[in-house]
Structure 1
């Protein structure tokens, strides 16, 4: 296994696009100690919506779907395999699955009219580096897998809950789209790599959660979905709670139905995830005085939860969230007359997850710096930069940095300040402009022909 694995047929050119901003997919992972009860794996992962999922090894079965003879409808998707017998107690390493999961969210599209046959897998997986159940070889990773039989050459776009992928197919016939992206595999028994994968927040059934008894412990357990059913889901960080494939000849197919698996922890109590995305102010001289506003963006669990911030005037401002993605926004018209200012933000997840705790985070309120242009002329070695601050009344100093070195201060009478300086013979690849009021911006330098 490798840290990132992408498999494609030789006839396929795969192009990945970032149509959405990069997000922290998961919030936290069990830091140990790791026990044999969980096969030496992390006991749990928490997503940015606050849900904590345990490694799913329970033999609880679905009360909604009957299982087949010898194959119970396990809520954890367990299946007998060499070295693992589901009729016996789970025990590491003598009777333990070669693959187990904290989460899965799978879907498919099969359409005879167009010839499309698509399989989609999203998972947070526990496995063994050499694919043998061996102590010290445990790894985890976040997986996105897309496999598609396509009828003809051309461009295919697959939109899914965790992103958008573009495939250029130059030879149709069979499963020519074949992508597996695993992120997080590193040193065995270190599990934080999966936090930066593509999977998260966890998809969950709109009909759940479901409670089923564990036949071994006789305790009720709670699950975010039933992997034995196909159901609509919520939880996509982009609001794309579906699979859609678009292709040549007007192909446009979609499904909203997923098989989702995940066992909610009732023992792990964690703070509500809350990450400040931006806290900036702007002000200018208006007809009746200074016109100001404070704009605050927070990543936290979506409604029915709540979020708020205390502005520079110590006024509490309720924040709003529009599409259940966990992106909160709030605005205040207070003028931050004394800088620097530290804002307090609060997020409470207890309405959705009663055993979570509220969180308060702090962040500095800074001006919004924008670099308008950064160009380099190789003929004369001149680097020219223009930038502005959202604070038009205090006129903070804007300093330019290249490779950590101060290369000058922007100047000018209006809101947009400029700097032209000689940097020779090698231009910087990027520059940063920093304001004395805390804001900054980073920009790649355009090299003129």
Structure 2
């Protein structure tokens, strides 16, 4: 029987401009872990070696693999012609979709791996672990590696939220636990946090427990079971929370007056500042939720870009976005009798009146465009010469 964990991670953090990876992931308990890619932290030693590393955004020797959390356990395995072993890996991993370190190919995925070596040939083993159960059948050499990876699309970091690594594991209270960590990355230790209260690894298979491992505490002496509650656990609490610009638009009135609206996301309780084209910083309002807003006058000049900084962070990591107009689609109607698609849209720039174009169809004449089509697309996208864009569903009116 296979059991899947129904729990999921809750949030993914803003992108770290240094690495292109999210600054943190958060579980439903509020535990927020950052990516441990620096080589000088003795409590987060589990990263790829230099032979698998490369330069990323000016960072030399960036690891080809690094982790937000990893928990590993090993068990001796009997029942085969020789003593074997089982390795269990539970991880939220950062790596690259292509071989080697390559900007633009960043991926983060949740991994559950069950590896058997030198077990009985063509035999099914069942693993119970903190996030559920999994079964795997060995080949004719008594080997199998069963791996589940969730979140393998480059730059789509929300994909890892659909994996089964949730909530994050941690050591039970222990004075030896370094402050700010869930484990020390080196010591075998008990853990807590399993949604099933299965804070262990248990392998069930013919003769599995005959190689000297620990018996199942709930079934002592059973030769077909081997058990451990000892994991090497790595993870570090996030201290840099960053900021993400979710929207940056300008509105220009017919008189020429310009106002810029900046929408941002971070964790609650942060002090965020916005700067237009390198000018003075303006604080953003918000803080009770992850959402923040700034509405800034810009006289009669449309700024090129906005820069946001989380002033609460111990290390400032400014992020920048282009300022565009806002496009609103007023009408996207298809008349099936006349076989005509009518699209109407406006720009937030009432003075400059930038040209508006329906993607794949053509420009609007003023705010309206009519296009002869024997059948319409499901949606239309209108793009402004000032950078704004908007997509709407097509409505069939006749």
Per the alignment, residue 200 of structure 2 pairs with none
The reply on whether 1:183 has 2:146 as its aligned counterpart is no
Per the alignment, residue 407 of structure 1 pairs with 362
Between the two proteins, the alignment pairs up a number of residues equal to: 270
5 Å matches for 1:134-213? 183-184=150-151, 196-198=159-161, 212-213=175-176
Per the alignment, residue 151 of structure 1 pairs with none
Per the alignment, residue 324 of structure 2 pairs with 366
Displacement of 1:367 in angstroms is 1.0
Per the alignment, residue 328 of structure 1 pairs with 292
Displacement of 1:283 in angstroms is 3.0
Q: Which moved more, 1:431-440 or 1:315-324?
A: 315-324
Displacement of 1:228 in angstroms is 3.9
Residues in 2 aligned to 1:182 and 1:328: alpha-carbon distance in whole angstroms: 34
Per the alignment, residue 344 of structure 1 pairs with 307
C-alpha contact 1:389 1:396 (8 A) present in aligned 2:
yes
C-alpha contact 2:76 2:86 (8 A) present in aligned 1:
no
Change (3 A) 1:22 1:385: farther
The reply on whether 1:434 has 2:383 as its aligned counterpart is yes
Displacement of 1:345 in angstroms is 1.6
Structure 1 unaligned residues grouped into runs of 5+: 8-19, 46-52, 58-77, 85-93, 104-123, 135-144, 147-180, 215-219, 231-260, 352-356, 412-416
Per the alignment, residue 375 of structure 1 pairs with 333
Q: Which of 90, 111, 115 is the aligned partner of 1:126?
A: 111
Per the alignment, residue 419 of structure 1 pairs with 369
C-alpha contact 2:85 2:117 (8 A) present in aligned 1:
no
5 Å matches for 1:167-316? 183-184=150-151, 196-198=159-161, 212-213=175-176, 220=178, 222-223=180-181, 228=192, 263-265=234-236, 273-285=242-254, 292-303=258-269, 305-311=270-276, 314-316=279-281
Residues in 2 aligned to 1:6 and 1:228: alpha-carbon distance in whole angstroms: 19
Give the root-mean-square deviation of aligned CA atoms: 5.2
- 1:98 aligned counterpart, secondary structure: strand
Residues in 2 aligned to 1:444 and 1:301: alpha-carbon distance in whole angstroms: 33
Q: Which of 42, 55, 70 is the aligned partner of 1:55?
A: 70
Change (3 A) 1:56 1:394: same
Change (3 A) 1:210 1:292: farther
Residues in 2 aligned to 1:193 and 1:364: alpha-carbon distance in whole angstroms: 21
Per the alignment, residue 393 of structure 1 pairs with 351
Displacement of 1:100 in angstroms is 2.3
C-alpha contact 1:367 1:439 (8 A) present in aligned 2:
yes
Displacement of 1:364 in angstroms is 1.3
Displacement of 1:387 in angstroms is 0.9
Structure 2 unaligned residues grouped into runs of 5+: 5-9, 16-20, 24-34, 38-45, 51-62, 79-83, 94-108, 119-130, 133-147, 184-189, 195-231
Change (3 A) 1:396 1:306: same
Change (3 A) 1:409 1:426: same
C-alpha contact 1:306 1:349 (8 A) present in aligned 2:
yes
- 1:197 aligned counterpart, secondary structure: helix
Change (3 A) 1:185 1:442: closer
Residues in 2 aligned to 1:281 and 1:310: alpha-carbon distance in whole angstroms: 14
TM-score by length of 1: 0.46
Change (3 A) 1:410 1:99: same
Residues in 1 aligned to 2:379 and 2:285: alpha-carbon distance in whole angstroms: 35
Change (3 A) 1:341 1:434: same
Change (3 A) 1:43 1:435: closer
Per the alignment, residue 318 of structure 1 pairs with 283
**Residues 268-325 of structure 1, C-alpha deviation per residue, up to 9 Å, x if partnerless?**
x99754332100111324xxx655421111233443x432111369231112333343
The reply on whether 1:100 has 2:85 as its aligned counterpart is no
